[in-house]
Chain A
Amino acid sequence: MGERENDEQNAGRIEGGIDAIVLGASADGLAAAAYLGEAGLRTVLLEAGAEIGGKIRAREFAPDMTCIDGDHLISDLDPETISDLDLYRRGVAYASRRINTAYFFDDGQSLEIEGDLINAAASIDEEIGGGVAFQKFTQQFMELAAQLRPAFEASGGGRGRQRQRALAKAMDVSPATARRFNRFLLSSGEAILDDYLPDGMLKTAMLTEIAFRSAAPAHEPFSFMNLIRRWAGETSGLQAAIAYPRGGVVTVIDALRRAVQAAKVEIRAATPVQQILIERDRVAGVQLENGGQIRAPIVIAAMDARRVFLDMIGASHIDIEFQRAVSAAKPLIGSGRLHLVLKGFARDEKTKENMQRRLVYTPGPDNLRRAFAAARAGDIPQDMIIEAIFPAAVDEAVDDDSRQLLSIIAHPLPVDVDAGPERREAIVSAVQANVERFAPNIVDRIEASDLSLPADLAANSGYHIEAFAARPGVMQQWALAGQVTTASGIEGLYFCGPEAQIGYGVNCAAGRIAAKAAIRLSRRGAAAA
């Protein structure tokens, strides 16, 4: 039966007998659906688009050349979700587990930091002699990051004072320790780094990590927490490591899809939802755009908060303060994905080895300040942070002897609601100019290129563009995550969209937390009945 016929048949139909509905087949949506299905709840996963995976999807952009939209590396994939949903057995494998990072500076110097940060100090000592200070720095803040890790997930837990208590409990530290942490919570990255890292290159490298993918540059208050959040992540069993999954990040989505299918969750793609039905402060189901209704006592929304709360629920059912938090204007700074197909392939082992790193170009603190100022003003910055990887070098599964793919994330860029061809061309040129600074003459080897901007992701997914903008400071993310996951107060409604996550990248913890809370509610309901 064709999709259209199917749609017509369902129009106006009211479906019952369903325990839970998950809206949005992003990584978090898939994880939530799998959890619900495994718990025995009859679950339907609704995706507005034709494909599942949210912003992460494989796409052929040049003949026989596939790129993956969204993220290209994994820095924090929720270990609990991996274990609960058996994702390793379902296809998640790492082609490269602890990728070293090579930082390239605007003065032509470079620095390599090992992927295993605990051991990174030794190699730094050999290179530039700042190893002792860096070891002290990593030791102290990796420990802090580990302590705060539960707090980065503690977006649930009630309202106001209740939420603060939950956060304090999740941190599991004494009030005295919490007070000591305050300085790190409130300070700018620059202020802390000034105290800890005398070496210019190490400091600039860390400033770059703080500012990368963030709407808050490292000289602004609260920005130091960006680094702590990043270091709290765990990948392939190692804190603060960065990994490349075999086959790219899309394999995580494939594994989640297998988990969803194994849990007997019904996936319905191309099924846009118009409204989330609220009756007597409780979720009653969803109204589909085709006029049909699906009734269920649990809805987990894995879409952006504006779409869920303002468009699908509406102001009549949410508190004024909550509406204000969700609709508050956010800085429209974002990142751009550029895929370049390069002619030729490295033959010598030394070049191959160099290409197995995560390559980061850092324009230096002053240039970075100017870049953020320009991006905030809607201009394309001259200098920007470039994170680049050669998937073929880090993943043996990629096999092409004649050319290679370079996957780039450039940050910061202005978020254009509608970028025309000239603007896109200007962005591509600016990004390529920055890539040229550490990979000279690369432009001559470009065979094909593809630029993906937040507006493209928004157009594909139906989300608001803000969902793909850079993340605000961690403190702001905390506040908003606490709000969106609990403050609607609507019984049976759970949220695991991008605003529920602290930090960036594929993580799935928000999906797990939402699903577990929903399962608890379902069991309470069953027990009461």
Chain B
Amino acid sequence: MIFPVEDFVADAPKPGPLFSAAASASEANLWTSVNGWSVARAFTSPVKEYHAAKTSAAIADLGPLARYALRGNEAAAFLARLTTAPAARLAPGESARGLILDNEGAVVDLAEVSRLSEELFLLTTPTSHARRLQLAARGFDVQAEDITDDVAALGVFGPSASEVLRAAGLKSPGEAVAASAVVRGVETAARPIQFGALPGIEIVFPKDEALTIWERLVRRSQVGPIGLDAMEILRLESGAPRSGVDFVSAERAHPGEARLPLEIGLPHLAPLDRGWFNGRRGLRQSGERADRRLATLLVDDDRALAGAEVRMGDRAVGRITSCAWSPAAKRVVAFADILPLSSGKQSQITVITPAGAAVAAKLTQTAESALAAAFRSAQKAATESVR
């Protein structure tokens, strides 16, 4: 699950259950605020943390994300309505990504749904949606409980994530199914998650025992923490859009700002044949229309360019929404909100730097955009076979 935009103007962010451990581990002492919680931007250096996550493993405090426990006979039907995730089709232990859409099919937020038992689900979203849940629950036999303040959560990312868990005495979940374990008397639940399209494992546990689990992981497996800046590089490389940065939630969007799933590169998270979900009819009416496109660019420049203009030839086609230096690509990797481009003209893309120079850029494929492309070609094949 991707963090939402930082709330730069939040005064006195709250320390989360893992704050004291994170503060002890932080050499850089760089902090920011997400959803009102203190979050470390970097512990040592973003590049070092990034390499650790890419080559072995790193742990991230995922506590600031909003979490809801949903219980009841109709919890699955409720979630299938609220989100585009196929909640009703999940077996206990399984998780799925999805989107929350408004009635016109525009994206309100990202969502992740896990079925913990037949009638118990966990919903994770970047930002809080308490009011929306309350409205959506009318007419359903479901109790929604905001557990954000009651639990702590750690994400373990990297190729050695499973080993890290095993070394700490935690059960590693399977590729699709969650696992629960008791570690030093603390009940934990581990489930496979995706950071964008990058796989990882999330461990959720009661907030009072948060430091025990952190210590256990760090001491037994020598895994280091990863801050928001390094996660931002991973996010951009994997092609996962960030709410409030790369798109504006339809609930807060000014006219023209709301985006359909296709327009932020996530059509595969809202397939129209998945059964009823909020906004499906609106989405169906919008059809294949995409007025904008959120594309990943590799820019031949080493300066940060958020807000920079993107041009195709002499024509301004959009702006960079977020970017970071990618050590893997040796270039700036950026998301750009642009007009849909024809593929033949991609060589003409340039980005205007703060100094006014035009720098060459090219569209690139990410793990997320590959999923979207595979989904769209499968959809096209299905449509053609019907014809």
A contacts, CB < 8 Å to B: 158-161, 281, 310, 314-317, 319-324, 327, 487, 489-490
Contact = CB atoms under 8 A, between A and B. Distances in A.
Interface string B93-108: 0000000001110000
Contacts of A320: 81-82, 103, 132, 135-136, 278
B58 to A, nearest CB: 37
Contact of A159 (B139, B140, B285): B285
Interface in B138-179: 138-140
A315 B138 contact: yes
Nearest to A281: B281
A314 B132 CA distance: 17
Contacts of B303: none
A317 B276 contact: yes
Given A317-B276, A320-B81, A159 B135 contact: no
Contact of A319 (B103, B139, B284): B103
Given A316-B139, A489-B282, A160 B81 contact: no
A159 B106 CA distance: 12
B103 A322 contact: yes
B81 A159 contact: no
A311 to B, nearest CB: 10
The list of the 5 closest CB pairs from A to B, nearest first, reads: A315-B139, A489-B281, A319-B103, A321-B103, A320-B136
A314 B138 CA distance: 10
A321 B102 contact: yes
Contact of B104 (A159, A281, A323): A159
B320 to A, nearest CB: 26
Contacts of A310: 139
A429 B132 CA distance: 46
Contact of A323 (B139, B279, B284): B139
Nearest to A490: B281
Nearest to B277: A319
Given A315-B136, A319-B102, A320-B103, 19 more contacts: A159-B104, A160-B104, A281-B281, A281-B284, A315-B138, A316-B77, A316-B81, A316-B276, A319-B103, A319-B279, A320-B81, A320-B136, A321-B102, A321-B278, A323-B135, A323-B138, A323-B139, A489-B103, A489-B281
A310 B77 CA distance: 16
B356 interface: no
A116 to B, nearest CB: 43
Nearest to A278: B276
A314 B103 CA distance: 16
A160 B286 CA distance: 12
Contacts of A316: 77, 81, 139-140, 276
B135 A489 contact: no
B139 A314 contact: yes
B81 to A, nearest CB: 7
B330 to A, nearest CB: 43
B287 interface: no
B185 interface: no
A479 to B, nearest CB: 14
Nearest to B258: A160
A319 B77 contact: no
B255 A327 contact: no
Contacts of A490: 281
Interface string B289-329: 00000000000000000000000000000000000000000
B280 interface: yes
A158 B285 CA distance: 9
Interface of B: 77, 81-82, 102-104, 132, 135-136, 138-140, 255, 276, 278-282, 284-285
A327 B134 CA distance: 13
Contacts of A321: 102-103, 278
Nearest to A319: B103
A327 B138 contact: yes
17 contacts: A159-B103, A159-B104, A161-B255, A281-B276, A315-B81, A315-B138, A316-B77, A316-B140, A319-B102, A319-B278, A319-B279, A320-B132, A320-B136, A320-B278, A321-B102, A324-B135, A489-B284
A489 B285 contact: yes
B139 A487 contact: no
A426 B153 CA distance: 62
A319 B280 CA distance: 9
Contacts of A161: 255
A158 B281 CA distance: 12
Contacts of A314: 139
A188 B278 CA distance: 37
Among A160, A310, A319, A321, max chain B CB count under 10 A is at A319
A260 B299 CA distance: 69
A39 B282 CA distance: 29
A323 B139 CA distance: 10
Contacts of A323: 135, 138-139
Contact of A315 (B132, B140, B281): B140
A450 B140 CA distance: 42
A381 B136 CA distance: 38
A153 B255 CA distance: 25
Contacts of B136: 315, 320
A158 B102 CA distance: 15
Contacts of B77: 316
Contacts of A158: 285
Nearest to B283: A489
Contacts of B285: 158-159, 489
A181 B290 CA distance: 34
A480 to B, nearest CB: 14
Contacts of B138: 315, 323, 327
A317 B281 CA distance: 10
Contacts of B279: 319
B282 to A, nearest CB: 6
A320 B80 CA distance: 12
A483 to B, nearest CB: 9
Contacts of A489: 103, 281-282, 284-285
Contacts of B102: 319, 321
Contacts of B281: 281, 319, 489-490
Contacts of A322: 103
A86 to B, nearest CB: 36
Nearest to A322: B103
Among A315, A317, A327, A490, max chain B CB count under 10 A is at A315
B51 to A, nearest CB: 43
Nearest to B106: A160
A116 B9 CA distance: 61
